[in-house]
């Protein structure tokens, strides 16, 4: 197939090219582009730190996250419990370490599902237009008109808290925004000459959307995914704080904040430490998104 008229992939994909004075692009590993952004590197460091903690939880956690200990007399940090214990005398460090697992499992899984749905709807609406675009766009507008936290609370309260229901709620809440972003990118990209060339060659609509439009839109989608990951982690934490997260006694950062809030004045570490865990993980994804967006703007 001819590639006449097709530009180099846009967005983040242009970061894998280093153009010399001759104007000839040469391939370079993508990690080199990220290495040029200190902000992105700090974000990656925070994210990978928590990924390692979650993956090595059985090795790093000194105790079971659900075990109660008579040695935790006053819930304050001690030699046996470095970060103290909660009101049920469960080791706080162990619960924070194990609590990283559901967050780093549910948030990516839910976002992957949301992007599959949102990208499919956005590509379809932007490429075909007409009544198909109207139906998809108006349905998305209705869903986007509701405050996200209200939708989360209503959905989880209706079907009950569980991992599967949290994933389903994130998909329903996040997919309309992803579809709107993808639709806008599709409307912009489908006017390019290489799309007309593909249509002239007789390529199918599915091929054009998947092989011509989506690769050139993925730069913005990657940045958006990093930002949405932070929002999703916050949403999962809020649901846990409201008692709509993982059912006890499973470690849940948001649930740990809720349990520690009544004792905030006497034992502030019980609420502040899980809050710090949420903040650092969200900050990692936000910094990564900022770094990638900066690299994209300079590409």
Q: What would the pLDDT profile of 91-112 be if each residue is shown by its tens digit? A: 999 999 999 999 999 999 999 9
Q: Of 290, 233, 232, nearest to 38 (Cα)?
A: 290
Provide the residue ranges of all domains of the chain, joining segments of one domain with +. Answer: 11-298
| Tens of each residue's pLDDT in the chain, 299 residues | 444 444 444 444 433 333 223 333 333 335 567 778 899 999 999 999 999 999 999 999 999 998 887 766 667 777 788 888 888 888 999 999 999 999 999 999 999 999 999 999 999 999 999 999 999 999 999 999 999 989 999 999 898 888 899 999 999 999 999 999 999 999 999 999 999 999 999 999 999 999 999 999 988 999 999 999 999 999 999 999 999 988 888 899 999 999 999 888 888 889 999 999 999 999 999 999 998 888 877 76
| Strand-pair partners of 25 | 19
Q: Of 6, 34, 32, nearest to 18 (Cα)?
A: 32
Give the dihedral sign, CA 71/77/78/80. Answer: positive
DSSP 92-125: HHHHHHHHHHHHHHHHHHHHHHHHHHHHHHHHHH
Q: Hey, what long-range contacts does 108-113 have (CB within 8 A, 24 or more apart)?
A: 108/229, 109/167, 110/166, 110/167, 110/170, 110/171, 110/174, 110/232, 111/170, 111/174, 111/225, 111/228, 111/229, 111/232, 113/167, 113/170, 113/171
Q: Which class is domain 11-298?
A: mainly alpha
Burial (CB < 10 A; 0-12, 13-18, 19+), residue 160, is exposed
Would residue 88 be called left, alpha or beta, if left means φ above 0 and alpha means ψ between -120 and 50 degrees? alpha
Determine the Cα–Cα distance for residues 109 and 145; give it in Å rounded to an integer.
25
């Amino acid at each position: 197939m001819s590639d006449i008229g097709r530009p180099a992939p846009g967005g983040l994909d242009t970061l894998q090219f280093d153009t010399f004075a001759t104007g000839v692009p040469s391939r370079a590993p993508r990690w080199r582009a990220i290495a040029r952004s200190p902000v992105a590197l700090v974000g990656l460091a925070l994210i990978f730190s928590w990924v390692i903690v979650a993956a090595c939880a059985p090795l790093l956690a000194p105790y079971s996250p659900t075990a109660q200990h008579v040695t935790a007399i006053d819930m304050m940090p001690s030699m046996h419990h470095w970060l103290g214990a909660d009101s049920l005398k469960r080791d706080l460090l162990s619960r924070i370490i194990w609590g990283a697992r559901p967050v780093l499992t549910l948030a990516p899984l839910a976002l992957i599902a949301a992007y599959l749905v949102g990208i499919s709807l956005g590509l379809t609406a932007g490429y075909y237009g007409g009544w198909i675009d109207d139906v998809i766009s108006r349905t998305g507008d209705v869903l986007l008109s509701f405050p996200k936290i209200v939708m989360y609370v209503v959905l989880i309260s209706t079907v009950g808290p569980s991992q599967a229901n949290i994933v389903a709620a994130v998909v329903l809440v996040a997919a309309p925004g992803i579809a709107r972003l993808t639709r806008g990118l599709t409307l912009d990209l489908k006017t390019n000459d290489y799309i007309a060339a593909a249509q002239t060659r007789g390529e199918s609509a599915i091929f054009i959307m998947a092989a011509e439009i989506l690769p050139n839109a993925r730069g913005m989608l990657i940045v958006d995914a990093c930002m949405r990951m932070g929002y999703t982690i916050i949403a999962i934490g809020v649901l846990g704080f409201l008692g709509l997260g993982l059912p006890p006694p499973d470690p849940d950062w948001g649930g740990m904040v809720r349990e520690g809030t009544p004792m905030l004045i006497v034992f502030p570490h019980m609420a502040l430490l899980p809050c710090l865990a949420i903040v650092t993980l969200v900050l990692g994804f936000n910094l990564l998104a900022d770094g990638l967006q900066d690299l994209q703007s300079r590409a």
